[in-house]
Amino acid sequence: MNIPSKPKSRRGLVIAVILLLVAAAAAFLLRPPAKEQAASTPASAMTVEVIAPERRDWSQTLQGSGPVTAWQELIVSPETGGLRVAELLVDVGDVVKRGQVLARLADDSLRVDMRKQEATVAQSRSSLDQASAYVRRANAVGTSGSLSDQQIEEYRISEATARATLQSSQADLDSVKLKLAQTRVLAPDDGVVSSKTGIAGNVVSAGTELFRLVRQGKLEWRPEFDARELASVKTGQKAELTLPSGERVNGTVRIPAPTLSTSTGRATVYVSLSGNSTARAGMFASGLIRLGTTSALTLPQTAIVMRDGRAYVYLVDANNKVSSQVVTTGRRQDDRVELLSKLASDARVVASGGAFLSEGVLVTVKPAETAR
């Protein structure tokens, strides 16, 4: 029995259409997600700001440390001795003026000696007056021959002796007056009382220390440097030191020491400090001396990444990929660091956030307008 061919061809067409639909559905279901498609395109690690190294004129400095001391220290002591300290008129920390009375010694015995010596002077003056009168009378009658030449000469010798005695008595009186004046112990110069060792009631001898003064209230910072460092220090250079309290005090190099210590091989530099600070003699402070101005290639501190004990910067190339470069740093001022390593003046350096980057990653560079 013959079967018609038309139904077979129609069935094959239906089967083909079904297979095409199944293939399309499978292709749709097996399509990768949009995120996986995007992953094939390199993604930016982060958005960064790039900067170029900047040249600035920086002052070259020399770091040092040393004590703060008095510019000059004056020892105040009496010039006469064997007297009791009657009164101490100033205390530690007082500001005194030149010629101001700092202490007074008991002067009762000296006043008695002065009155006694004044009487001796008066007696000597009377003796001189009497001897002078004899000489005048002898000269008046000498031509008459009533007095011999020997007698006249004796009168003249007596007058000379009386005059010498008067001068000696007057000198003794002046000595007593001087000792009396020295019972008032005076300040030899303006200054600040730094110590008081005198005790009221003590009998003191000449030269016994009563006070010490910081002369004119001036202080010095005295750091030490070796021979190589000392060669660059000159008189008049500016200095700045930091006190233990954190206060900064300005100063000026007064003079570098002309010799080095034979035991340490170092020399002291004497730096005069400006007034009106909390610096006190005996403090130990660190600071710097400004030697001059030099050009420095600088970057912000945020551009420096410290890793494994070394300093790095991250550079961005034309394709916005980063690469690290080891650099050597030098001086620091404010928020910037000096680069001692060579770096192109047009280098694009990541300004901050370099610690979050790795070698060869792609970054997005922030436009200059946005950065500003």
Intervals of CATH 2.40.30.170 along the chain = 63-72+216-293
For the chain, where do the domains classified as CATH 1.10.287 start and end?
A: 107-182
Q: Which fold has domain 107-182?
A: Helix Hairpins (1.10.287)
- pLDDT, tens digit, for every residue of 205-224? 999 999 999 999 999 999 99
| 173-207 as b/e: b if 16+ CB within 10 A | beebeebbebbebbbeebbbbbebebeeeeebeee
Residues 76, 182 contacting (CB under 8 angstroms)? no
* pLDDT at residue 267 tops 80: yes
The three-class DSSP label of residue 340 is: coil
CATH number of 47-57+295-371: 2.40.420.20
Q: What is the pLDDT of residues 84-99, one digit of tens each?
A: 999 999 999 999 999 9
Half-sphere exposure of 33 (CA within 13 A, CB side): 3
Question: By C-alpha distance, which of 314, 320, 319, 317 is closest to 357?
Answer: 314
- CATH 2.40.420.20 residue window(s) in the chain: 47-57+295-371
User: What angle in degrees, to the nearest 10, is found between the helix axes of 108-141 and 149-181?
Assistant: 160
Which pLDDT belongs to residue 1?
44
Give the right CATH number for 87-106+183-215 from 1.20.1260.10, 3.20.20.70, 2.40.50.100, 3.40.50.300.
2.40.50.100
Token look-up 């910037």 returns 336
Distance CA 133, CA 151 (A): 14
pLDDT tens digits for 119-144? Answer: 999 999 999 999 988 888 888 776 66
Say yes or no: domain 63-72+216-293 is CATH 3.40.50.300: no
All CATH 2.40.50.100 domain ranges of the chain, comma separated, are: 87-106+183-215
**Six-digit token pair at 13?**
């067409």
User: Could you tell me the two tokens for 331?
Assistant: 């001086």
Tell me, yes or no, if the pTM score tops 0.85: no
Q: How many Å apart are CA 319 and CA 336, to the nearest integer? A: 28
Among 82, 276, 261, residue whose Cα is nearest residue 179: 82
Distance CA 112, CA 155 (A): 34
What pLDDT, on the 0 to 100 scale, is given for residue 23? 67
Tokens 């890793």 locate to: 307
